Chain A
Amino acid sequence: MISFEHVTKLYQHKNVGLEDVSLQITAGEFVSIVGQSGSGKTTLAKLIIAEERPSRGKIVVGGWDITHIKHHEVPILRRQIGVVFQDFKLLPRKTLAENVAFALEVAGEPAARIHSIVPQVLKIVGLEAKQDRYPDQVSGGEQQRVVIARALVHRPKLLVADEPTGNLDSINAQEIIALLQKINEFGTTVVLVTHNREVVNSLRRRVITLDHGHIIADQKSGKYLL
């Protein structure tokens, strides 16, 4: 599903984001990427969704070599990957249903299909009863579930979640992780970028640990090492 071959990402002034990183993530896996701040976790997530380009190396996502992905191809890639961020990125002036529908609207999906899919994904995340509320009328956990619903509307084979529990209390965090596990059980590959020790340890799934842009551990059923 995801292949990094000797990937290096250098930022301005030769700041290292990632250095000579190689990894393979197969379809259907649930992988946690852990590490301290500045370890390169978010850089790795951004490289997967082509928000950043590698300075060296090769990246393949879903059989597509995105190392030198063309500018106009990025939207096509993004529609195949669900993305969840810590800061939710919901539009405050749209209802929860409209926020989810927005992802389909910008992709040019027909209105009939939008009307059919949106209630389905809101049901998966347990928010069908609150679909007409605005983001500020629901809890942080519920907002994150809307983001997950929005990420699911394109039925992605891969879901990248960058610190999805970062702004949540432990109960809401566990609910979100449970939801991600449920999505993974349906066959979607999940890449969870986190520094939440409790979450990682409770998952007992593959853990890749990064430090200063290098992979320092890759455990099949691991724990938070640092």
Chain B
Amino acid sequence: MSYLVRIFRYGIQSFWRNIWLSLITILIVALNLFLTTSIFGLNLLGQQTLSAVKEKISLSVYFTPTTTDDRAEVIGTDLRKLKDVKEIRVVTRQQHLEDFKASKQSGDVALQALEELGENPFGPGLVITATSLDAYGDIAKEIAAGPYASAIEETGRDYETNQEVINKLSRYLKGVQTATIWLTLLFAVIAILMVFNAVRVAIYSQREEIGIMKLVGASDAFVRGPFFVTSLLYGIGAAVLTTAIILPIIAVSQPALDQFFVGYDVDVAGTVLSNIWIVFGVEALAGSVLAIISSMAAMGRYLRV
């Protein structure tokens, strides 16, 4: 036990003896972790946006005014049996009317005409969600060719426009993902080089002590251990700093994000904040792994035990 405690004590001593180098190393590793996290954050935002847009897509089928709500319900039950249909929501005639009114501004000509008409001119409808984007076209075709074709007054084909947007977004996200991989590798290499250099300097500044350690019978583990501890402190310190930078940025940007994604189920800030310990854990793990790889390389190169 005292053996491990001493290794940690010497590691912490080494950290303090080169405090400025330690702080600069932490800062640069933190900067790299922050940039990597930001890229992953953008990726997450893109994925959430894509999912939210996909969730919004549906195929609307509206029936003639003579079709009853019960009949729409029966058709809906029947269409649920179709392959690729995920969910069907029935819009009653009344609901259809209310939705129409809600979509118009007060004093609109259409609303005035509706009042003059004195009755509900809308038929019921179905809002169909498919299991995949590609399935909407086939479902629309099957409905148009099916036994209920004569009852259909209008089919909303918004999914065609949305599909184009989604394809563009998907292509953009794929590009972002490729860039993420390369940038993450680049930042990892920078962080590794930084810690490598810090450990190299620490080894150089403690060469006298290391020589004496070896002379009086210190084991390899005892000579190398403190440098591992120092590197771990760099990694964990960088993770703490990165998390400390990320939190206020998210807090500040949350209202703007909420406003931008109003109506969509996108909550990057909420996702990060509710998983803050996981975020910190991942940062600490990434920082520590980078630090350990670097220190091992530096020790292999400069520490002959």
Contact = CB atoms under 8 A, between A and B. Distances in A.
A176 B216 CA distance: 20
Interface in A94-123: 102-103, 105-108, 110-111
A212 interface: no
B216 A78 contact: yes
Contact of B211 (A89, A102, A105): A89
Contacts of B218: 75, 106-107
A154 B215 CA distance: 13
A127 interface: no
B2 interface: yes
Contact of A78 (B2, B208, B214, B222): B214
A53 B207 CA distance: 22
Interface string B34-59: 00000000000000000000000000
A108 B2 contact: yes
B212 A108 contact: no
Interface residues of A, number: 23
A74 B3 CA distance: 18
A193 B216 CA distance: 19
B240 to A, nearest CB: 29
Contacts of A204: none
B6 interface: yes
Interface residues of B, number: 16
B292 to A, nearest CB: 21
A218 B216 CA distance: 30
A154 B212 contact: no
Interface in B193-240: 208-209, 211-220, 222
A76 B219 CA distance: 8
Among A76, A77, A85, A103: residue with most chain B CB under 10 A: A103
A205 B144 CA distance: 115
A71 interface: yes
B2 A106 contact: no
Contacts of A105: 6
B216 A71 contact: no
Contacts of B209: 91
Among B2, B215, B220: residue with most chain A CB under 10 A: B215
A71 B220 CA distance: 9
Given A91-B208, A108-B2, A102 B217 contact: no
B212 A89 contact: yes
Contact of A72 (B212, B215, B216, B220): B220
Classify the secondary structure of B's interface with A.
helix
A107 B217 contact: yes
Nearest to B209: A91
Among B2, B215, B217: residue with most chain A CB under 10 A: B217
A78 to B, nearest CB: 4
Interface in A73-93: 74-79, 83, 85, 89-91
A108 B222 contact: yes
Contact of B217 (A79, A90, A110, A111): A79
Nearest to B305: A71
A150 interface: yes
A106 B220 contact: no
Contacts of A102: 212-213, 216
Nearest to B215: A83
Contacts of B222: 106, 108
A165 B217 CA distance: 23
Contact of B2 (A91, A111, A154): A111
A173 B2 CA distance: 38
A43 to B, nearest CB: 17
A106 B213 contact: yes
A84 to B, nearest CB: 10
B219 A72 contact: yes
Nearest to A110: B2
Among A76, A79, A106, A111: residue with most chain B CB under 10 A: A106
Contacts of B213: 102, 106
Leading 9 A-B pairs by shortest Cβ distance: A106-B218, A78-B217, A79-B217, A103-B216, A108-B3, A75-B217, A75-B219, A106-B213, A89-B212
Interface of A: 71-72, 74-79, 83, 85, 89-91, 102-103, 105-108, 110-111, 150, 154
Given A85-B215, A103-B216, 20 more contacts: A71-B220, A72-B220, A74-B214, A77-B217, A78-B216, A78-B217, A79-B217, A83-B216, A89-B208, A89-B212, A102-B212, A103-B217, A107-B218, A108-B2, A108-B3, A108-B6, A108-B219, A111-B2, A150-B216, A154-B217
10 contacts: A72-B219, A78-B217, A102-B212, A103-B216, A103-B217, A106-B218, A108-B3, A108-B6, A108-B222, A154-B217
